[in-house]
């Protein structure tokens, strides 16, 4: 280690004597011991000269200005407004959202480390070497192991060729190696931004678009300019899903190991602008009832009602349009399932995430070869097969991601035989839901629909100038009128668009059922309902959005309800419960 010591001199003299960084790798502990020894020997303060790269590493950077590796460029404030700058993979990648005044649109900018020509050349050399040397068991390694392997590979490559690189350049190159070999390459920053719900590419040299939680559908500054690069990326997506996409089979539907849902097309076989893809990001931490209330998708009273419905085994379908948040609501409601209950879920692509241990998650599987007379390829497992298999597993709760075919009839048979079942489907009202269920390809008899107890109608609606998700209606299926062949329904809660509030409509047959079942008076039912509202309000106030922490509170309530309610009311300063239907 080349360290040069001087007694305190003018700052200019120190700067002039700083040398350009050379390849050094001393241990930090040795460096600290050496400096402590010098400080003991010298009675006067001393300045220690460090290589230029290490000086940069120790510099403090202002928030919003990037880092030593990535500097966020300035913008012309007369033409654009900077809405926000957020770190994505700090200190390397950042996201900046600007509003272009001339185009009158938002733009999502990805800001990553800028490489010099020398650094770009070294990066390509290392990539080329890694492509040739990565072993066949690379995919079997964990993400952490892969990153460590790549870091060691970069260091070994530079050392073996005696390349002199300062620490910042080394880290920037390592970032890009890990991004391209472990991450999602060109779109890795988008995939790591928690505010991004999905990423879509519409073809060659077309800007990528994202759906942002706050700004909705906006354009990014990323694009695939080379058709070969885009085709290669789409093939890579297929490999991540364990599937193949090619000229002979140019459409891909799959799920990555991380849980992201992928739909892609290859080359110009079926999409004339070139390969396309849409990635719906998997949310590792699922939406909770607290999130739903914070987004005003539902009220605390509605969530308390759904808690009672889940606990007492009321089957339910959540109906709504595309991207209305059906699965997110389903996952949130499922957190109220009592601990120890056996749950079986089945989906085309894995989205549901539960904290319960006694849970069997199932997904469909595509087959190989041509489809047979039954419309299935060899080895294909569809939703109908999963639903039939679930009935033999003696579950307390069955959750079907989305019903759209013959599996629906089997699901309603399961409801009729006492299995509590939850699912989602595309419909914008109870009437349109019934029409879909009655007609092909589902063809479920209307009399069988009485096994369903609750229907949630959820939609993406506009409040003011903002698109939001709301549960428009919570409906009970009360019975069946044989003379008119109509279902008897009761609306419990309804959303009013003018005031953006939820209104209780006056009566709930669920409460009547619980009072009869448990021999409770109206006042006792009111107290029980209010207790759950208080718990939910407490979780909202404390911002408990971690689904494991929230589940622990629910589990504790099932075990010792009086104790936890008393503790929560004491913390919130509540002496007695409020009105039941306030």
Clarify whether residues 423 and 449 are in a common domain: yes
Clarify whether residues 339 and 240 are in a common domain: no
Residues in the chain, total: 582
- Residue 225 placed within a domain: yes
Question: 204 vs 91, 222, 225, 272, CA distance in Å?
Answer: 30, 11, 6, 10
Answer for the pair 543, 290: CB distance below 8 angstroms, yes or no: yes
Bridge partner residues of 266 (DSSP) = none
The CATH number linked to 389 is 3.40.50.300
The CATH number linked to 231 is 3.30.450.380
Answer for the pair 232, 134: CB distance below 8 angstroms, yes or no: no
Instruction: Look at residue 333 and give its three-state secondary structure.
Output: helix
Whether the full predicted model's pTM is greater than 0.85, yes or no, is no
User: Looking at residue 18, what is its pLDDT?
Assistant: 37
Clarify whether residues 201 and 262 are in a common domain: yes
- Residue 375 placed within a domain: yes
- Residue 559 placed within a domain: no
Q: For residue 257, give the nearest of 243, 267, 246 by alpha carbon.
A: 243
User: Looking at residue 14, what is its pLDDT?
Assistant: 34
The gap between the terminal CA atoms of the chain, to the nearest Å, is 73
Clarify whether residues 97 and 124 are in a common domain: no
Clarify whether residues 385 and 499 are in a common domain: yes
- Residue 503 placed within a domain: yes
Answer for the pair 266, 498: CB distance below 8 angstroms, yes or no: no
- Residue 238 placed within a domain: yes
Clarify whether residues 246 and 355 are in a common domain: no
Answer for the pair 185, 233: CB distance below 8 angstroms, yes or no: yes
Residue at a domain's end among 484, 508, 532: 508
Clarify whether residues 163 and 28 are in a common domain: no
Rounded CA-CA distance 497/287 in Å is: 23
Domain of 134 in residue numbering reads as: 117-183
Write out the DSSP string of 20-40: PP------HHHHHHHHHHHHH
Bridge partner residues of 100 (DSSP) = 80, 105
The number of distinct structural domains making up the chain is 4
List per-residue pLDDT tens for the chain, 582 residues long: 343 433 344 444 434 433 333 344 444 566 566 556 655 555 555 555 545 454 444 454 544 477 889 989 988 878 899 999 999 998 999 999 999 999 999 999 999 999 999 999 999 999 999 888 886 667 777 888 889 989 999 999 999 988 888 899 999 999 999 999 999 999 999 999 999 989 999 999 999 999 998 888 999 999 999 999 999 999 999 999 888 899 998 999 888 888 888 999 999 999 999 999 999 998 878 889 999 999 999 999 999 999 999 999 999 999 999 888 899 999 999 999 999 899 999 988 778 889 999 999 998 887 777 777 777 888 888 899 999 999 999 999 999 999 888 889 999 999 998 899 999 999 999 999 999 999 998 999 998 999 999 999 999 998 888 889 999 999 999 998 888 888 999 999 999 999 999 999 989 999 999 999 999 999 999 999 999 999 999 999 999 999 899 999 999 999 999 999 999 999 988 865 444 433
Clarify whether residues 272 and 230 are in a common domain: yes
- Residue 219 placed within a domain: yes
Contacts of 90 (CB under 8 A, 6+ apart): 67
User: Looking at residue 277, what is its pLDDT?
Assistant: 97
Clarify whether residues 300 and 194 are in a common domain: no
Rounded CA-CA distance 405/418 in Å is: 21
- Residue 471 placed within a domain: yes
Question: 505 vs 302, 494, 581, CA distance in Å?
Answer: 12, 7, 10
Residue at a domain's end among 508, 539, 555: 508
User: Looking at residue 394, what is its pLDDT?
Assistant: 93
105: part of which helix (H) or strand (E)? strand 105-111
> 196-201 and 276-280: which strand pairing?
antiparallel
Question: Would you say the C-alpha torsion 347, 350, 354, 357 has a positive or negative sign?
Answer: positive
Clarify whether residues 199 and 141 are in a common domain: no
Bridge partner residues of 494 (DSSP) = 473, 503
Residue at a domain's end among 183, 212, 231: 183
Rounded CA-CA distance 46/38 in Å is: 9
Clarify whether residues 192 and 153 are in a common domain: no
Clarify whether residues 262 and 250 are in a common domain: yes
- Residue 21 placed within a domain: yes
């Amino acid at each position: 280690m080349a360290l040069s010591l001087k007694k305190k001199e003018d700052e200019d003299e120190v700067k002039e004597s700083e040398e350009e960084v050379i390849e050094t790798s001393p241990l930090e502990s040795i460096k600290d011991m050496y400096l402590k020894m010098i400080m003991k020997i010298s009675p006067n303060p001393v300045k220690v000269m460090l290589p230029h790269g290490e000086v940069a590493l120790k510099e403090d950077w202002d928030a919003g200005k990037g880092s030593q590796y990535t500097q966020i460029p300035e913008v012309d404030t007369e033409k654009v407004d900077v809405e926000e700058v957020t770190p994505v993979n700090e200190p390397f990648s950042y996201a900046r959202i600007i509003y272009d005044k001339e185009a009158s649109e938002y733009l999502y900018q990805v800001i990553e480390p800028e490489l010099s020509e020398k650094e770009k050349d070294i990066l390509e050399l290392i990539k080329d070497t890694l492509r040739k040397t990565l072993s066949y068991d690379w995919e079997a390694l964990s993400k952490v192991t892969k990153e460590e392997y790549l870091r060691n590979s970069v260091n070994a490559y530079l050392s073996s060729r005696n390349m002199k690189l300062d620490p910042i350049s080394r880290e920037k190159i390592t970032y890009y190696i890990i991004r391209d070999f472990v991450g999602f390459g060109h779109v890795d920053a988008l995939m790591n931004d928690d505010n991004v719900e999905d990423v879509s590419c519409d073809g060659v040299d077309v800007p990528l678009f994202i759906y942002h939680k706050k700004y909705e559908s906006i354009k990014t500054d990323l694009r695939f300019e080379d058709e070969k690069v885009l085709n290669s990326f789409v093939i890579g997506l297929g490999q991540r899903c364990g599937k193949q996409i090619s000229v002979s089979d140019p459409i891909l539907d799959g799920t990555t190991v991380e849980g992201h849902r992928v739909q892609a097309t290859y080359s110009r076989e079926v999409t004339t602008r070139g390969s396309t893809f849409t990635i719906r990001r998997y949310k590792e931490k699922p939406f909770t009832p607290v999130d739903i209330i914070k987004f005003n998708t539902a009220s605390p009273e509605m969530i308390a009602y759904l808690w009672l419905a889940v606990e007492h085994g009321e089957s339910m379908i959540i109906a709504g349009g595309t991207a209305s948040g059906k699965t997110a609501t389903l996952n949130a409601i499922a957190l109220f399932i009592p601990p120890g209950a056996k749950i079986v879920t089945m989906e085309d692509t894995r989205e549901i995430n539960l904290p319960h241990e006694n849970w069997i998650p199932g997904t469909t599987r595509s087959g190989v070869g041509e489809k047979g007379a039954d419309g299935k390829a060899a080895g294909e497992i569809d939703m109908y097969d999963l639903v039939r298999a679930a009935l033999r597993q003696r579950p307390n709760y069955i959750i079907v991601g989305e019903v759209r075919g013959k599996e629906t009839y089997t699901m309603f048979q399961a409801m009729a035989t006492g299995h509590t079942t939850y699912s989602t489907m595309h419909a914008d009202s109870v009437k349109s839901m019934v029409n879909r269920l009655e007609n092909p390809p589902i063809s479920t008899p209307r009399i069988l629909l009485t096994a369903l107890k609750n229907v949630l109608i959820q939609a993406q609606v506009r409040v003011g100038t903002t698109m939001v998700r709301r549960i428009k209606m919570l409906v009970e299926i009360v019975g069946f009128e044989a003379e008119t062949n109509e279902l008897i329904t009761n609306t419990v809660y309804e959303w009013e668009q003018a005031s953006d509030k939820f209104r209780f409509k006056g009566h709930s047959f669920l409460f009547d059922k619980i009072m009869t079942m448990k021999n409770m008076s109206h006042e006792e039912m009111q107290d029980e309902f209010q207790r759950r509202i208080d718990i939910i309000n407490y979780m909202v106030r404390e911002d408990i959005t971690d689904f494991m922490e929230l589940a622990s509170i629910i589990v504790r309530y099932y075990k010792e309800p009086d104790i936890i309610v008393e503790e929560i009311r004491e913390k919130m300063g509540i002496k007695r419960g409020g009105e039941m239907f306030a």
